[in-house]
């Protein structure tokens, strides 16, 4: 299997897993319901985020928000897909990171196009500190970004020697 196909397979698996988990939450968890998984640490919740990451721009319905987020999401998908296509086979971390970002971006874009908002359901907390709810797509995007940064750091460190 070519490296491009492998990267597209990773992106497709992230997209499908994200869609399946969101479907399960929408089907089996009421909006605002909380299911404690690890007391004091981790819950499954059902929230709907009309804004961007961490509920940015989620304030009451500005008419331009949905269109802006769709345009930005489409642009991000196009840029990441272009970078992924041009990434040399030798840069495995970069290719894997971009594949994760692409799959996650497509997952959230699908939600935004289909529902006008993104389903979030993972909630981490410690005491009164609660991380904003997120989903599998967000996790893939974050992990992918960390792999991209790691690849860039390694490339920079190797260039110094």
Catalogue the active-site residues.
120, 138
Handedness of CA 39, 44, 50, 53 (dihedral sign): positive
Q: What is the CA radius of gyration of the chain?
A: 17
CA distance 84 to 68: 24
Residues 3-35 as b/e (b if ≥16 CB within 10 A, e otherwise) read beeebbebbeebbeebbebbeebbeebeeeeee
CA distance 136 to 103: 10
Q: Please list, in sequence order, all residues whose beta carbon lies within 8 angstroms of the beta carbon of residue 27, skipping any fewer than 6 positions away.
A: none
């Amino acid at each position: 299997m070519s490296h491009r196909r492998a990267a597209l397979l990773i992106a497709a698996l992230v997209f499908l897993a994200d869609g399946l988990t969101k479907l399960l939450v929408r089907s089996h968890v009421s909006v605002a319901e909380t299911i404690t998984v690890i007391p004091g640490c981790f819950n499954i919740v059902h929230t709907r985020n009309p804004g961007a990451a961490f509920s940015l721009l989620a304030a009451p319905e500005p008419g331009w928000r949905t269109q802006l987020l769709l345009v930005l999401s489409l642009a991000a998908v196009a840029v990441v897909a272009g970078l992924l296509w041009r990434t040399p086979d030798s840069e495995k971390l970069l290719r894997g990171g971009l594949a994760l970002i692409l799959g996650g971006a497509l997952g959230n874009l699908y939600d935004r196009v289909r529902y006008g908002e993104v389903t979030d359901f993972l909630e981490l907390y410690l005491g009164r500190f609660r991380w904003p709810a997120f989903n599998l797509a967000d996790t893939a995007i974050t992990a992918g970004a960390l792999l991209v940064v790691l690849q860039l750091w390694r490339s920079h460190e190797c260039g110094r020697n």
